[in-house]
Amino acid sequence: MTGPRDVPAVAVRDVGFAYPDGRVALDGVDLDVAPGERVAVLGPNGAGKSTLVLHLNGIFEAQRGEVIIGGLPVVKRNLAEVRRRVGIVFQDPDDQLFMPTVHDDVAFGPAQAGLRDADLAGRVAGALAAVGMADRRDAAPHHLSFGQRRRVAIATVLATEPDVLVLDEPTANLDPAARRELTEVLASLEVTLLVVTHDLPYALETCERAVVLDAGRVVADGPTAGLLGDGELLAAHRLYLPLGFDPGRARGQTSRETSESTSWCSNAST
């Protein structure tokens, strides 16, 4: 990953943003994410989650405060490098898949950045292998299942070798098998990860830290299991666990599972 390990991968400082109709989407957001850390961003509809994501690679420009990626301010002169460092995978994979084949979609980003021949082929092969889709490189994306398209969309971002990977509602429309496959993919990636989700059990499964965003502000920040175990906090911000779901018990089960493989959900500095 780019930059010194003691420099935050993502630093959001007092960021404010309002839409032209006057609706305030972000109101003094502060957030630091360390290199290699995996953080779930939770909140009800309209909390400002998507607006925050669009600030991380300069699609939106902060009207107050600043966003810094690996020590690099998100300003116009730095946008090309910021967008290389921050890869966003949107909720609908079809928003990112538009070429005739899986290979062409994954090759598009690095080819635009100037990679050619063996370097480009290697980058594409590595990204497809990382998401378990190497055997579908010649397939038409519209012939794939939704879960497979989601993984190819992730590969299109990984092919640009980002430092920060942002996933917007990654489990939306996934069946249980595709959800598990996605979990295994995320477990293997060596990137800083932000997971924006309404799926609270998945936040617990993938990230040890979570922040709750509501009305454009960070209202809670701490261990995911602790936040999800606070029923009053969740109810106050219109967040609800599935009936019968016990965060403490689930966290213990997840910890036992991950202790048998690579520990992928903790801060890389530990």
What are the Cα distances from residue 120, in Å, to 123, 124, 140, 141, 201?
5, 6, 20, 20, 37
The pLDDT assigned to 258 comes to: 40
State the Cα–Cα distance between residues 151 and 145, nearest whole angstrom: 10
198, exposed or middle or buried, with CB in 10 Å at 0-12, 13-18, 19+?
A: middle
Q: How confident is the model at residue 2 (pLDDT cuts 50, 70, 90)?
A: low
Looking at residue 44, its amino acid is P
Could you tell me the pTM of the whole model? 0.88
Mean pLDDT of 150-158: 97
| Range from 101-115, 133-147, 162-176, 256-270 carrying the lowest mean pLDDT | 256-270
Q: Which residues pair with 214 in a beta bridge?
A: 217
Paired strand residues for 32: 11
pLDDT, position 124: 97
In CATH, which superfamily holds the domain spanning 10-259? P-loop containing nucleotide triphosphate hydrolases (3.40.50.300)
Query: Going edge to edge, which strands form the sheet with 72-73?
Result: 24-33, 10-18, 64-69, 72-73
Task: Extract the tokens encoding 213.
Answer: 């965003």
Residue 29 and residue 39: Cα distance in Å, rounded?
15
Evaluate whether 193 touches 38 at the Cβ level (below 8 Å). Answer: yes
pLDDT value, residue 235: 96
User: Taking the CB of residue 168, how many other CB atoms lie within 10 A of it?
Assistant: 20
pLDDT in tens, 35-53: 999 999 999 999 999 999 9
The DSSP string of 22-87 is S-EEEEEEEEEE-TT-EEEEE--TTSSHHHHHHHHTTSS--SEEEEEETTEE-SGGGHHHHHHHEE
Q: Looking at the predicted structure, is the pLDDT value of residue 263 above 50?
A: no
**Given pLDDT bands bounded at 50, 70 and 90, which one contains residue 4?**
low
Summarize the confidence of residues 167-178 as an average pLDDT.
Answer: 94
pLDDT average, residue stretch 87-91: 95
In this predicted structure, what is the pLDDT of residue 252? Answer: 58
Q: Domain locations in the chain?
A: 10-259
Query: How many CB atoms lie under 10 A from the CB of residue 161?
Result: 18
For 17, phi then psi, to 5°, come to: -155, 135
Which of the four pLDDT bands, split at 50, 70 and 90, describes residue 249? confident
Average pLDDT over residues 130-134: 96
Mean residue pLDDT across the chain? 91
Residue 269 has pLDDT above 90, yes or no: no
